[in-house]
Chain A
Amino acid sequence: MKKEILITAYKCKKCGKIHYPFHDRCLNCKGREFEQIKPKGNAKLLTYTAIFNLPWGFDQRFLIIGVAEFENNIKAMGQIKADSVDQLKVGMKVKPSWEPIRVQYGQDVYGLKFEPMK
């Protein structure tokens, strides 16, 4: 079953700047009121890497991570569903999903994943 992407970004009510993660004051105009917005549509891959020296808690050979920008300009980090960076290109379209990204204390932790689109 496809899960809803549980990310909330914050759009400054004064100047419109989009923040993710949350800041107590707008990075642009210091405004303190924000409209909560949800990511929309697919995303564009801005940059990525394949990490081979993983931190404690990841029992796998490597992990591909990137930053992508949603259609409504929210930018977020996520794990990338690909076998190799050879399948990736800066600027390509990726499909977001909300899936387990790691296991902590025996429980799945959910987060963003991006899958390259043909």
Chain B
Amino acid sequence: MRDVAVIGAEMIPFGRRDEDSLMDMLAFAGLKALDDAGLGDKSVDAVYVGNMGGGIIQHQTAIASSLVDRLSLLPAAAETVENGPASGGSAVKNGLLAVASGYYDLVLVVGGEKMREVTGWRATDFVATMTHPQVEYPYGITLPGMAGMFTRLYMEKYGVTREQLVTVSIKNQEMGALNPYAHVEMTLSREGIFDSPHSIVNNPVMADPLHLYDACPVSDGAAAIVICSLDMVKSVRKTADPTKPPILIAGFGQATDTQTLQERDDPTDLKAVTLAAQKAFEMAKLKPSDIQVAELHDAFTILEIAESEHVGFFKKGEGGKAAAAGKTRLGGQIPINVSGGLKARGHPVGATGVAQVVDIVFQLRHQLPRNRQVQKAENGLTVNFGGFGNNVLAFVLRRVQS
């Protein structure tokens, strides 16, 4: 297997982008990443597009074929990869495997989603289509509902408190406010969402015991990376920008779990997260303590806490306390979701897995302003969580020593 490096990484601001179609967003992000890679007019061998809802929301299929045409990348191979909210991660994985195998040398991976085109009702229904079609979906269960039931179990078993969840909301929105690509650029105060008489008005129950500000927004957006074989970086790039060293995809892991929560022996045990992260660490020959920055799939605050335990940053039951103690803030033991995470950067489902890699690439290139840069970051981790933990991808990224 060949070593694979990210040589281009870019995204467009997430948010509500009424003026842009899904194809516009994919094209903007794709072109930015190609330019970031310094490819000039050079084409790529293949394009992988992560998208979950084009067929349902935009009533559009074969999106990758449309994108290569728009970007004048013909006759590059092209596929759309649908894997629920892990579609972005799965697109990255497909690109990684294609280059690692030696079949392709240079690949563009784009993830994108346009969700604000429909009402909240429709968007919630669209996301709920990933639940079991007979024994879950008809009941009106939603992903926030699954997260609510999971949170109740996690609270009962590990003593996670609402106060700990609130610290995650506040941290991630504080970081999002500093990120020009973030959907939500508004900071929160503890009084505003937790311990004042007004807090229940500002922050009503969404899926008990989770409240509105425990959840990510519904976003439009796209992100893209260009990857190539590490030994070809110099020959591929027309212009070598010394501030943008190649970032190695040092480790990858993926695992699945039962579709319904009730069929898991212990529904608080996110086995797929543990296994995906273990495989990624094993491949990278690193351990959790070697990671200096992580982007974890915080579609709900509880998930950031649970994943921080399952990937091995903290013991089970310690993640909530660690978050409350500031250990996951910038400057803390392991900064998590410095981008603002799904919570503030936003969660255009198909874009997320790619955007997480983009954010870690920014960190490992040391290209961010001081108030968002993890100093001397060498290794980063991403976790992209599909379904309710039934399909999870993890990537370990490493700055290549020059």
- Chain A interface (Cβ < 8 Å from any Cβ of B): 19-21, 27, 46-58, 63, 65-67, 75-79, 85, 90, 101-102, 109, 111-112
Contacts and interface: CB of A to CB of B under 8 A. Distances in A.
B122 A50 contact: no
B258 A27 contact: yes
B148 A49 contact: yes
A77 B136 contact: yes
B232 interface: no
A52 B139 CA distance: 14
Nearest to B156: A90
Contacts of B128: 55
Interface of B: 119-122, 124-125, 128, 132, 134-136, 138-142, 144-145, 148-150, 152-153, 156, 204-210, 258, 260-263, 267
Contact of B144 (A51, A56, A85, A111): A51
A19 B260 CA distance: 11
A55 B125 contact: yes
Contacts of B204: 52
A96 to B, nearest CB: 13
A95 B207 CA distance: 23
A48 B149 contact: yes
18 contacts: A47-B150, A49-B152, A50-B148, A51-B140, A51-B142, A53-B207, A54-B121, A54-B140, A65-B139, A65-B145, A75-B263, A76-B262, A77-B135, A90-B152, A90-B153, A101-B138, A102-B139, A112-B139
B145 A51 contact: yes
Nearest to A28: B265
Listed from nearest, the 4 A-B pairs whose CB atoms lie closest are: A49-B148, A55-B125, A56-B125, A75-B262
B390 to A, nearest CB: 13
A1 to B, nearest CB: 22
A27 B260 CA distance: 13
A79 B261 CA distance: 16
A107 to B, nearest CB: 12
A17 B88 CA distance: 35
Nearest to B145: A51
Contact of B149 (A53, A66, A109, A111): A66
Contacts of A53: 120, 124, 142, 144, 206-207
A48 B156 CA distance: 12
Contact of A21 (B134, B142, B208): B134
A63 B124 CA distance: 14
Given A50-B205, A67-B149, A19 B263 contact: yes
B208 A54 contact: no
A56 B121 contact: yes
Nearest to A75: B262
Contacts of A85: 208
A14 to B, nearest CB: 17
A52 B207 contact: yes
Nearest to A46: B262
Contacts of A102: 138-140
